[in-house]
């Protein structure tokens, strides 16, 4: 394509997926520096892209908004190129019938995923991160991955709020700040709270560590439970910090430990050492962290993966994918990164 003037990228949700899209956004901008690049996202995930300098306009899809109404809006924009990085029924409906010269997407490998999750048959071959699979949607237009990872942008107000909160919580700059995120959107993706506490104690005793917990409102009680097991002072920011506040906190930390969640990808956007604890999901599904400065702790359990996204119970009722991961496994992984 010769210099598209207007480009629309669609990725409606969720936090981790949108963060992984940031590399594609940057690389499209590098290839077409003068183009108008708009990004469509659900309102609850607006913060993820709100301050991205590579995006010209953010089109916000409101909860309960009519898809037909939004589609009529898109018809008036006269886009040259639509890049669908969501590939679900909403994005399919929105792009069908739009008079856009070029529409591209990527393969979600649904057949591969179905065979692996439901029948235990792995035909993936070499596992490829979703971030790189997204580039299938733009490679024929000459857009290539620049190997610079992901990115999220926050404001001076976010960093100021974080610094004030840390000071009020008792943090001092002579300590090493570690961020833990014990929550996840589904309960079978959450490692055991007592083992998070053991990791935290190790960091305090052996790494001059100071622990900050992050997550959503639903994670606040879980974080408080882990805090109650600790002797040293820590801070529970779950439910208190916005996404961009959490981003600002992660930009200041030494390392991150957490489950398969959006917060893990947020931490990696700031090139921090990341330890990911993965139970029901596997690398072939694509949502592992990039290999730079990361270690994934997992156990080879015959029933993995039992899901591609997450469940609120263990189908086998033993939860061995998480129960067999002990705190020593996670500490060893973290120490390997800190060295």
pLDDT of 82: 97
166 and 269 fall within a common domain: yes
Q: Which of 76, 109, 141 is the last residue of a domain?
A: 141
Does residue 74 contact residue 80 with C-beta atoms inside 8 Å? no
pLDDT of 321: 98
Residue 222, pLDDT above cutoff 60: yes
Instruction: Answer yes or no: is 209 within a domain.
Output: yes
Q: What separation in angstroms does the CA of 329 have from each of 178, 265, 299, 326, 333?
A: 17, 21, 10, 6, 6
CA distance 156 to 192: 35
Residue whose C-alpha is closest to residue 45's, from 73, 74, 77, 22: 22
129 and 200 fall within a common domain: no
187 and 295 fall within a common domain: yes
Instruction: Answer yes or no: is 151 within a domain.
Output: no
Collapsing DSSP to helix, strand or coil, 316 comes out as coil
316 and 174 fall within a common domain: yes
pTM of the predicted protein model: 0.95
Instruction: Answer yes or no: is 169 within a domain.
Output: yes
Instruction: Answer yes or no: is 322 within a domain.
Output: yes
Instruction: Answer yes or no: is 148 within a domain.
Output: no
Instruction: Answer yes or no: is 150 within a domain.
Output: no
Mind listing the pLDDT tens digit for each residue in 248-298? 999 999 999 999 999 999 999 999 999 999 999 999 999 999 989 999 999
Residue 121, pLDDT above cutoff 80: yes
160 and 110 fall within a common domain: no
Give the DSSP H or E segment for 257: strand 255-259
121 and 175 fall within a common domain: no
pLDDT of 12: 96
Domain count of the fold of the chain: 2
Q: Which of 110, 141, 172 is the last residue of a domain?
A: 141
Residue 95, pLDDT above cutoff 80: yes
Structure tokens of 153? 């942008």
105 and 165 fall within a common domain: no
pLDDT of 42: 96
**Residue 33 region, left (φ>0) first, then alpha (ψ -120 to 50), else beta?**
alpha
CA distance 275 to 277: 7
- Can you give the residue range of the structural domain that contains 44? 6-141
Name the percent of the chain lying above pLDDT 90: 94
197: domain CATH number?
A: 3.40.50.2000
Mind listing the pLDDT tens digit for each residue in 133-174? 999 999 999 999 999 999 999 999 999 999 999 999 999 999
Chain-centre distance for alpha carbon 278: 14
**Weakest-pLDDT range from 4-13, 118-127, 180-189, 277-286:** 118-127
249 and 195 fall within a common domain: yes
**Weakest-pLDDT range from 88-102, 236-250, 254-268, 321-335:** 88-102
162 and 310 fall within a common domain: yes
Give the DSSP H or E segment for 213: strand 209-213
Chain-centre distance for alpha carbon 291: 14
Query: Which residues 6+ apart lie within 8 Å of 34 measured at CB?
Result: 3
Residue 209, pLDDT above cutoff 70: yes
Give the DSSP H or E segment for 212: strand 209-213
Share the mean pLDDT of the chain.
96
Residue 64, pLDDT above cutoff 90: no
pLDDT of 3: 78
Instruction: Answer yes or no: is 149 within a domain.
Output: no
Residue whose C-alpha is closest to residue 291's, from 274, 305, 307: 274
Q: How confident is the model at residue 1 (pLDDT cuts 50, 70, 90)?
A: low
pLDDT of 127: 85
Structure tokens of 70? 């939004």
298 and 173 fall within a common domain: yes
Instruction: Answer yes or no: is 204 within a domain.
Output: yes
Q: Which of 108, 141, 174 is the last residue of a domain?
A: 141
187 and 320 fall within a common domain: yes
134 and 161 fall within a common domain: no
Does residue 106 contact residue 134 with C-beta atoms inside 8 Å? yes
**Structural Rg of the chain based on CA atoms:** 21
Helices (H), the chain: 15-31, 67-75, 89-95, 110-114, 130-134, 156-169, 193-206, 220-227, 243-252, 262-268, 320-323, 327-338
């Amino acid at each position: 394509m010769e210099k598209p003037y207007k480009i629309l990228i669609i990725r409606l949700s969720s936090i981790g997926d949108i963060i992984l899209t940031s590399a594609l956004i940057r690389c499209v901008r590098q290839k077409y520096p003068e183009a108008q690049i708009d990004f469509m996202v659900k309102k609850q995930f607006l913060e993820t892209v709100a301050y991205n300098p590579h995006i010209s306009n953010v089109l916000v899809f409101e909860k309960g908004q009519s898809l037909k109404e939004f589609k009529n809006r898109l018809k008036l924009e006269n886009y040259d190129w639509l890049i669908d990085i969501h590939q679900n029924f909403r994005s399919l409906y929105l792009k069908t019938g739009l008079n856009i010269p070029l529409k591209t997407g990527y393969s979600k490998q649904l057949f591969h995923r179905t065979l692996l999750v439901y029948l235990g048959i792995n035909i993936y071959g070499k596992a490829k991160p979703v971030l790189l699979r997204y580039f299938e949607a733009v490679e024929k237009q000459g857009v290539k991955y620049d190997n610079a990872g992901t990115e999220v942008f926050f404001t001076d107000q976010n960093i100021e709020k974080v610094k004030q909160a840390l000071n009020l919580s008792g943090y001092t700059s002579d300590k090493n700040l570690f961020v833990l995120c014990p929550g996840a959107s589904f309960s079978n993706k959450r490692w055991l709270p007592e083992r998070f506490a053991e990791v935290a104690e190790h960091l305090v005793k052996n790494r001059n560590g100071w622990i900050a917990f992050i997550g959503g409102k639903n994670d606040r009680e879980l974080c408080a439970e882990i805090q109650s097991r600790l002797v040293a002072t820590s801070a529970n920011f779950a439910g208190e910090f916005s996404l961009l506040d959490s981003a600002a906190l992660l930009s200041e930390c030494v390392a991150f430990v957490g489950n398969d969640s959006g917060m893990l990808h947020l931490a990696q956007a700031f090139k921090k050492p990341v330890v990911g604890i993965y139970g029901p999901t596997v690398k072939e599904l694509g949502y592992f962290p990039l290999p730079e400065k990361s270690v994934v702790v997992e156990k080879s359990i015959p029933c993995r993966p039992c899901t591609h996204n997450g469940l609120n119970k263990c189908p086998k009722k033993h939860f061995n994918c998480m129960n067999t991961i002990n705190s020593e496994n996670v500490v060893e992984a973290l120490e390997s990164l800190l060295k």
